[in-house]
Chains A and B, each alone.
Chain A
């Protein structure tokens, strides 16, 4: 009768039966899935809430300030409140889930020999790349984070503080994973979704660029480290010289599903549709961000560009940005000239929406213009006619990949390093390469009558007057327009140490246009980073230290 009480789980595995090479491979696959397993209220892939809405690029959008009020709190830098249960606490949780998946795979691989698992070296390097990615993202968002490896037991993890390492030590720790990946990954992988040596080099370059701008405990940039910048140059050179990557001929091809995994994409989070899952492994993190009033979309009108961003696309007669005067008055698309990237980025009344001239953007598509104005973002959306598009309930998912590292970013990272090294002349052709591609990216922007909705005028920078200060300004502008609403903006501002200055100046002007911003204010020494989630501090009984100011 004692057998009567024996009940074994159905269809599940215990830790005893996951010790084979095939299990290691399966854990590694799950680790890749882990970096894409995010949610609308806990983003890991698109950082539109943390990087775009929190910057001068965009507003929350949607139906008034109380519609997904959490996002409004980021927009207003109002993150000291106790009722903030979703968003960054879930982002923290989701990245540590991803790290634990990579660590579970690493632990399993460590116990296998090369003979048992011939791909051990490559897969180990991939797992360290994935772990590096998650730690990097957490560091960019939260600054002070616990660093977790596969060698720690659960008990040891609970004793690992978020301030165990200094800022610089933490960067170096994360860099070790990318360095291991650079040293051990093949230049190319037969499966395009896997990380390769170039992706690792590009990521390590990105990390070293962030690390170069040394911060003190209150997030002030105290020094720009030339050694780190030199590493950025070396690493990006390795990627460029490989010849594996190039700019897409048309800027648009970075933002449409049909041309994903193209020559510009260095590492992307892969999404899929019609793949045997219930509705596809789709990206929903921008699922709120489609035009609300358009019947083919119908939800939910979030993520609207700021007036300031629209104005930033203005160009002068010389085809260059109006660095000083761009924001004096609002852009007039009928009469002023603009950078063509505006029509890749911003939905404007009467302009083709997402390269479809037959269904131009309409002011009636805007959900709450009284609060957020009449612009809408476009980059993170796909046409309803795209094979990648799927509407589920009110929200829209897409199998369009989300790029983590793109070649245009590599070029601009190298340009930035050169400029800060005082070698701005070497940066000029890199930035002009970006502008040349932008100038050539008007093929998809025509209206049905064959004319353009905007007057485009974009030129390359001349070498005359290309001083370090000017180059820095041009680089910062170029990054903004190239990646506008894709969310590097806020993190760039923090890295450069100009977040407080830039954002409060932006708010000062913008709140007259958009009264909902009237109480928004960026507090230096606090708002550069997100608060450590309170519950994580509770779960570690106060071992984690809260970031300053919260």
Chain B
């Protein structure tokens, strides 16, 4: 049944419901694929073979008893290692958490379990979600299934690569400045950053609390919507979670109709710095949407030019405080505790040994930005920019239903190319960052290939209008898939396909 790995979650759901296939068979097929290809891809940090099969058996038993199961019951999923899962190693890509097994589960994990979703294991990421390539992981770089010499994007490169390598049909990511959307773009998959507050952050190791948002990843828009519906909703354990019904994302994905919709193209997110192949695929997608009955207009969001700078003050500032808890006192790595040193010395040695270079760089940056005498100039100014960007969005959304742009300026770059040039790396997220600063919702979906590598198309919707992402995304996907003979990942190189066949 190895073709099971090429099915979408929606297809698997249907087969499972009809009892054409068992959850155990589906799970085993994906575990087999992981065993075959993950040495090359390195998407997973931990594979929970026993736990996954046990969950699958539970679902099969429940189905045999005729229990009422959710649509994703028995469908496997790859979990980004930023989410706490009780008893399962959770490292956040950092040495400082190596060996930590959380005593509790994130709300999203509980929801997944309650829905019968089978969690295969934990996926690789840049340390504490700081990076755009997974090269900052303390446990090695994930390779892009489209070209193993290239990065899969980051920080959620592991989750995106697992999808593109057919190791899982569903994955969970987290997006602080583009960590779901940029990897989705670079691996030819779909990823959504929901409205800030739409999905609980409880149990998600915090990078930048006011920007972090957990979201769904998959190979199709409908699959992404199915997963979105499972994980979204109010949580008493997250004070910033929105207490309102989740937008009807699955219905929107099924409607897939853009007739009469107004789509705004963000002027500032195009032109210089965007590769020609990226721009061409973007234009072609716009043409398709126009042909489907949408009206396209240019809109200007002038303050987006300051987005990257504001982000690199706010995110490190919050991170410098959020990461203070890793001090060797209660969990994780402990260095230098030989009885001769004070607690402060052990803290200092542990943090020096446990954090990687990029994490240290951002802690230092954030500590500086929050310091007395600099606060107003740095953190204060960045918050003002944030307000201006939010206003740019509000103004734009007063005349259009959704905004669009390329997700990233370039396709996947070779491993090592930008690892010593932080600013070049930061620029990978120039088009995704404004979305986080304003707390609105956005999706990246495949727009085609440029020189054999995937290009991402970004759709942005107002807060709590996440359904519009799916409505537009599904319409575009349908037309592109008709042209390609399937969603983009079906065109993934033979290397992976052959490995799975």
A pairs with B: no
